[in-house]
Amino acid sequence: MLLVGDSSPLPPAAEQDAESSEFQEAMQRDAATRLDADLEQLLSQLSPQERASRAKELGGFSRLFARFLKEKGPSVEWDKIQKLPEGAVRQYDSLNKPSEARIKDMLNKLVVVKLNGGLGTSMGCRGPKSIISVRNDLTFLDLTVQQIEHLNKKYGVNVPLVLMNSFNTDEDTQKIVRKYENLNVEFHTFNQSCYPRIQKDTFHPICKTPDVKADLDAWYPPGHGDFYESFKNSGLLTKFIAQGRQYCFLSNIDNLGATVDTRILDLVLAPGQDAPEFVMEVTDKTKADVKGGTLIQYENKLRLLEIAQVPKEHVDDFTSVKTFKFFNTNNLWIKLDVIENVLAQGTLNMEIILNPKHLDSGHDVLQLETAVGAAMKCFSRGIGINVPRSRFLPVKKTSDLLLVMSNLYAMQGGSLGMSPLRMFPTTPLIKLGDKHFNKVKDFLSRFATIPDMLELDHLTVSGDVTFGKGVSLKGTVIIIANHGDRIDIPSGAILENKIVSGNLRILNH
């Protein structure tokens, strides 16, 4: 800053830049040092036994925070995005169908991992999302276990099932898994890391104690990108490699389409040096999927591009179905020994997702998170596989739940598949009003039985609407009860290409 009357010349621009850079580096060092002191103070409150495991976790947070301080500007320069090279995305139909004998051999080299860290709060449920009933009173977890047991029995193998829990879901999950003890499934669980939320303006952790249960709001699970380090820290990665396991198949537990696929397994276990180390299942993007991450070629590497990384002026390009044709299902096949190598070399640098939150306590905090698919760029041989839409069947809302509970899907061995009675392979578009259908309990109370939807294309329901038994919906059906009105669709009704509005009450007598 110049003083009044000071006529000395300004330093050259390069010198100013250097001074500014030095100042920023000093500020970063200071912030990192202060955070490490805060973390050390938390660790000092623990017993020696607890301290060792928590030190690994908080060390991971310290490294993530240091990267957050250093990384400035966009993680992707839009003009540097390259066209996907030939063979970067394989078509599922081009994959080989292996023999029964080969399938048995391959399954003994596989581990199935399900991401089980989420709660069911967005659907009005308490506890882990995986214990919501989705089909014939079976939960996400029940169906997953049934799939693995069916596989193990059919081929006489032992495919282990691993759940990555969070501190939010672990206790309830441990109680639930006891009921599977007598089944033909080898169970393992581990917890993803537990990181401290930091004050937005000071970068200090808001927690005063390392006791997570005493102050749940002060801690958070840092996204599924934490899988790699937590899997290693749990000892399971080393254990499975020692057993001769070669790949893990990882997916979200609420994706009912994410079953073990022997064609993809045959590809990743192909003999020779060119077998992929990291496979991301992608599927064709529709207008309903415009926010999903996509595959790009960048700096001669295949990598995941999320909407959070896209500059505002290019969001329309990103959401275009023509420009980016695929989106990430988060079904991943990853080579175990390469995970170990990447971690040992310290080259696992996934993009940091900054998640600001305002807590009920009044704190404005930052969460630093990562996405599991973003690790693709850290592996030498990554490819995408364009899989059928049937492998992406997530249940995020009650409209998704209506689909999977209906006769659109048939169940076999814990797996859901489109009913052969449906004449076309696409699923109907369903929109249910938030006020009356958003929570699972409310949603279920509005259906005496789930309607026949085999011939349905589109369903919109808004307002106070209930459905009787044996209702059939065909074509495009729109049902709108205005404020203060109620519509009861009578039992046995067949609605085909209908708009229903106004007030219709069916009274018991």
User: Which neighbouring-strand residues pair with 90?
Assistant: 385
Task: Identify the H or E element spanning 440.
Answer: helix 440-445
Do 98 and 262 touch, CB atoms closer than 8 A?
yes
Both tokens of residue 203?
């970068």
On whether 97 is known to bind a ligand per the annotation, the reply is no
Give me the pLDDT at residue 14, please.
54
Task: Identify the H or E element spanning 292.
Answer: none
User: How big is the chain by its Cα radius of gyration, in Å?
Assistant: 26
d(CA 139, CA 142): 5
On whether 150 is known to bind a ligand per the annotation, the reply is no
On whether 458 is known to bind a ligand per the annotation, the reply is no
Residuewise pLDDT in 10s, the chain (509 residues): 333 344 445 555 555 455 555 655 666 778 889 999 999 999 999 998 889 889 989 999 999 999 999 887 677 888 899 888 998 999 999 999 999 999 999 999 999 999 999 988 888 888 899 999 998 889 999 999 999 999 999 999 999 999 999 999 999 999 999 999 999 999 999 999 999 999 998 899 999 899 998 888 999 999 999 999 999 999 999 999 999 999 999 999 999 999 999 999 999 998 876 789 999 999 998 877 777 889 999 988 899 998 888 888 888 888 888 888 899 999 999 999 999 999 999 999 899 988 999 998 889 999 999 999 999 999 989 999 999 999 999 999 999 999 999 999 998 888 898 999 998 888 899 999 989 999 999 999 999 999 999 999 999 999 999 999 999 999 999 999 998 899 999 999 999 999 998 877 655 54
Name the catalytic one among 200, 301, 325, 396: 396
**343 φ, ψ (degrees, to nearest 5):** -65, -40
Q: How many CA atoms lie within 13 A of 67 on its CB side?
A: 19
On whether 483 is known to bind a ligand per the annotation, the reply is no
Give me the pLDDT at residue 18, please.
54
- Write down the pTM of the prediction: 0.90
B/e letters for 353-377, b = 16+ CB within 10 Å, e = fewer, are: beeeeeeeeeeebbbbbbbbbbbbb
Do 55 and 45 touch, CB atoms closer than 8 A?
no
Tell me whether residue 175 is one of the annotated catalytic residues.
Answer: no
Do 196 and 54 touch, CB atoms closer than 8 A?
no
On whether 179 is known to bind a ligand per the annotation, the reply is no
On whether 223 is known to bind a ligand per the annotation, the reply is yes
Whose CA is closest to 334, among 255, 225, 436?
A: 225
CA distances from 5 to 8, 13, 315 (A): 9, 22, 50
Give me the pLDDT at residue 286, please.
81
Give me the pLDDT at residue 321, please.
80
